[in-house]
């Protein structure tokens, strides 16, 4: 076999393994930032997608843009992931619309600012835990239960590298996301062998959330070994990989995408 033919077959095999045609994926927090990039990439790989976030208009805009760009079905489902009734409705509406659920991306999150640790209110703490851990727990369990009963699937939890090196400035958020790491490992065991559960831990990325602390020049970030901030589209290919058959022997993994910030942890 010539080298050219081998390379051509390798490319075909790689593409086939990452093909998500005929599958349905849900992305929470999918209207902007990392979630928006993941939803776009999943659709480009062939999946129909559900865009979920709190603001219906933002969901509808993202869904329309993704459909126009990829030709895949994309629907908007407003959902406050901190409320279990909304979580239940998101799963039910997905199944009513598409009749299947193959990939679930727990991406929604929030990190409300506070002046100091002693000023953190019970309301702020509870709200942070609800969106970053309580809701994702419910959603992952509902999604994985359905997948286990219908041929399998993939759950992807999007956390943060900050869960490994918790900062005093985002401690409730880091605590919740550390819980998401534990949830990933526990669910990987609970729903094996049919459902794979993995986590992605982004580091310093250019998103709406990072605007308050990101350097003026995102390509000059000396605190990052790679020297710059990350961009949402640099996380999306990993999500496609974890959603696809290319990662068929990967579960319970917690993968850092942080430019090397937590390299020594």
Cβ atoms within 10 A of the Cβ of 169, count? 14
Query: What does the buried/exposed string (b/e) look like for 194-222 if buried means 16 or more CB atoms within 10 Å of the residue's CB?
Result: ebbbbbbbbbbbbbebeeeeeeeebeebe
Separation between Cα atoms, residue 35 and residue 73, nearest integer Å: 17
Cβ contacts of residue 159 below 8 Å, gap of 6+? 177, 180, 181, 184, 199, 200, 201, 202, 254
Catalytic residue among 114, 125, 173, 191: 173
Helix (H) or strand (E) holding 103, with range, is strand 103-106
Question: Which DSSP string corresponds to 177-197?
Answer: HHHHHHHHHHHHHHTTTTEEE
Backbone angles phi, psi at 200, to 5 degrees: -110, 130
In whole angstroms, what is the distance from residue 96 CA to residue 98 CA? 6
Q: Crossing angle for the helix pair 56-70 and 33-44, nearest 10 degrees? A: 30
- Catalytic-residue membership of 173: yes
Active site residues: 173
């Amino acid at each position: 076999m010539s080298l050219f033919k081998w390379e051509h077959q390798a490319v075909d095999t790689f593409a086939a393994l990452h093909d998500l045609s005929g599958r349905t994926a849900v992305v929470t927090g999918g209207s902007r930032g990392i979630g928006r990039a993941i939803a776009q990439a999943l659709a480009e790989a062939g999946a129909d997608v559900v865009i979920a976030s709190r603001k219906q208009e933002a969901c509808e805009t993202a869904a329309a843009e993704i459909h126009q760009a990829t030709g895949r079905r994309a629907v908007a489902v407003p959902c406050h992931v901190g409320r279990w009734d909304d979580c239940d409705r998101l799963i039910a509406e997905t199944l009513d619309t598409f009749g299947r659920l193959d990939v679930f991306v727990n991406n929604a999150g929030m990190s409300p600012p506070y002046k100091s640790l002693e000023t953190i209110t019970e309301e702020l703490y509870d709200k942070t835990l609800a969106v970053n851990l309580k809701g994702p727990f419910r959603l992952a369990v509902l999604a994985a239960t359905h997948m286990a009963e219908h041929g399998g699937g993939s759950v992807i939890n999007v956390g943060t590298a900050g869960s490994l090196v918790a900062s005093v400035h985002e401690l409730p958020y880091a605590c919740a996301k550390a819980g998401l790491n534990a949830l990933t490992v526990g669910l990987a065991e609970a729903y094996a062998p049919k459902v794979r559960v993995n986590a992605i831990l982004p580091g310093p990325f250019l998103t709406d959330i990072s605007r308050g602390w990101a350097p003026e020049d995102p390509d000059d970030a000396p605190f990052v070994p790679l020297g710059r901030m990350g961009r949402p589209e640099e996380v999306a290919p990993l999500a496609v990989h974890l959603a696809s058959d290319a990662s068929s022997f990967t579960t319970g993994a917690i993968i850092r995408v942080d430019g090397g910030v937590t390299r020594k942890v």
